Chains A and B, each alone.
Chain A
């Protein structure tokens, strides 16, 4: 038993690395955004010497003249859905530009502090701690993904920083126990049920298999679909998990193929969805099975990766009640600033704009100027003001926050892929 100790060390290292990789499916620490200095609170017109120490209690944010109102943003810039994450960030930047062009609040301008939440709970926690440690952060837009938002949620709740997520759809993102938690996207509670109804009644399929990527988002929506489908009287022959970042799904697909389902429903993001749609064509028993994905996969990335295999697959999306003229104006500014159509990157830019809009309007309501010319924002008042949003006209419809923080308008849409493009065939807003 004279094993070289190096081998033992290497083996244990491998196992540790793999365990770590399982806990957080290969989410790299992001190449960070250029680090922002926490604030420049001493820069007042009276000179650095005599800066009247703002009477900031823990419950208020005091912004000296010349400083900006800082809104944090947690975006999935790396991880499984980098393009939609970038789209959401850019949508938020347009919203900040618009708010500033409209004069800001009492002459104070807004600033977006973008961080990479990487679509993972671990990185969401890192970003949450960063924001909580920064006393100048007033509110947060994000996170992009449900798992990431679960990382942010307890930290922001404790720090009394309200957040509005444009795209985290897991039902548990909001709840009665969390007064700082809000979102513009619709809950998967709705999406899973509409999808089950579509598959069972419209497509007429009675036997399906359900797969998910083990993320909070993917597994959550897959479970809702499974339960709703069984309640309708359908048969779910398999409930199989994979991991975000997996690329070979042939083994679980072969297992599913043995039961010959009519359709595979997948809760997860674009790349994994595309690879499943592609690889199921190579598996016995699935030659005629259809594929259906959810909003996390409703992207150009899915179409590009799956190629010909995407044709005839279904995809659902939690759509806003899009106001066409407002959206057109938004897209024009977006293209002018970033040089790309937002829909080429992801679907949630409208919701992202509205998340920031909601925060900005609430800040306008509660912000006050004190005798020294500082802008004072009371955190508790801001939390209440966001939750009290009512009848706000956004790009994605009239936004009114429910008592638990569901602020979005709209409904679930179902698309199919035809000639390499999504075409709506069912659900909200279909003419």
Chain B
């Protein structure tokens, strides 16, 4: 569908110049960052175990970002739309999981034998995923489907509205105080690998993320539904002509993405102990960043972007010798650098090029 635009040579030259200036500035930033990192590592000698611990922190953070980033990437791949309410879907999953946990505690499951506790935890996670799935699908039905043929900015703005709506609905219903996840003894604490401490919740997040991402990959690449999804992503109209129920596939896509986000919400609740109405906002932005960094629309790209982002956020402040409250700046500088050198993202936009 790419109509080749005829662009005046002078404009082309100007675009070229701008691009080279941007690259020069980016190179300068890279050089400064590297110089700073070298200077800091010479001045402060952290032991190797310190870096290992920060790497663990980063991988856990990256696992959470990855689960949420996949939701952005899936929806973008199919609809070319940024679902800005996706972070809130994660938050709603966390809230739903919280109430399942309350129930499990009231029933005494959390003090039972390890097997029962493990089952209860899976149930809590399941409830969180279902809560998020219901939210995601409802959102698609009410806020996005009526706008499917509208200009692209319209559903984006609708998504921002949906995000605010979800945040303040939770605020009104559950109040401003954070909901506190009580960790059962089974997953409190952690274990040591040499001198590096790994919390159980962190390990669970990382392993579960990898498992869920693997499951997603199999669904998309190896099943009939996955094939239909890829067909809709490649060309919606043609897919419809071939007998694919486009609405059903889009609903299914939201279902998948939301389930992953719900799992992330529950695990984040256990890992960081609290969930409240705006808990999804910042992780949602970070996950979106990760998705863009890895190449939006590209499933492995979202995972890679998320892990890179998580590690940069946890190691960055120490490596550059800057206060930890600037970790967000590191994340976004990284995003800008990636976009300047590889506008298509680290692994490339898998699906989008056919569409634009």
Contacts and interface: CB of A to CB of B under 8 A. Distances in A.
A51 interface: no
A31 B46 CA distance: 47
Contacts of B314: 250-251, 254
Given A250-B314, A275-B274, A15 B343 contact: no
A11 B339 contact: yes
A3 B271 CA distance: 37
A371 to B, nearest CB: 49
B20 interface: no
Interface in A33-78: 77-78
B61 A248 contact: yes
A247 B273 contact: yes
Contacts of B281: 21, 26
Chain A CB within 10 Å, residue with most, of B53, B171, B289: B53
B17 interface: no
Contacts of A274: 273
B279 interface: yes
Given A6-B156, A11-B335, A14-B285, A31 B296 contact: no
Contacts of B2: 2
A28 B278 contact: yes
A13 B175 CA distance: 28
Contact of A284 (B61, B180, B196): B196
Interface stretch (A300-308, A312-320, A376-384): A300-308
B317 interface: yes
A241 B323 contact: yes
Contacts of B152: 4, 6
A220 to B, nearest CB: 15
B42 interface: no
Contacts of A28: 167-168, 171, 277-278
Given A26-B282, A242-B325, A284-B196, A82 B175 contact: yes
> Chain A interface secondary structure, helix, strand, loop or mixed?
helix
Nearest to B182: A307
A212 to B, nearest CB: 9
Contacts of B279: 247
B82 A10 contact: yes
Interface in B189-214: 189-190, 195-197, 199
Nearest to A5: B152
B305 to A, nearest CB: 13
Contacts of A278: 273
Interface in B324-356: 324-325, 327-328, 332, 335, 339, 343, 352-353, 355-356
B43 interface: no
A271 B175 contact: no
Given A6-B82, A254-B53, A258-B47, A282 B197 contact: yes
Interface in A263-316: 271, 274-275, 278, 281-284, 301, 304-305, 307
A77 B172 CA distance: 12
B274 A240 contact: no
Interface of B: 2, 19, 46-47, 49-50, 53-54, 57-58, 61, 80-82, 84, 152-153, 156, 160, 167-168, 171-172, 175-178, 180, 182, 189-190, 195-197, 199, 268, 271-274, 277-279, 281-282, 285, 288-289, 292, 296, 313-314, 317-318, 323-325, 327-328, 332, 335, 339, 343, 352-353, 355-356
20 contacts: A2-B353, A2-B356, A6-B82, A11-B339, A13-B84, A14-B289, A18-B328, A26-B278, A82-B175, A214-B325, A241-B324, A248-B57, A248-B272, A251-B314, A252-B317, A254-B57, A255-B54, A274-B273, A275-B273, A304-B180
Q: Which 3 A-B pairs have CB atoms at the shortest separation, nearest pair first?
A: A252-B324, A241-B325, A247-B272
Given A2-B353, A17-B285, A243-B325, 13 more contacts: A4-B352, A14-B288, A22-B328, A26-B281, A31-B172, A78-B171, A241-B323, A254-B50, A258-B47, A275-B274, A282-B199, A284-B50, A305-B273
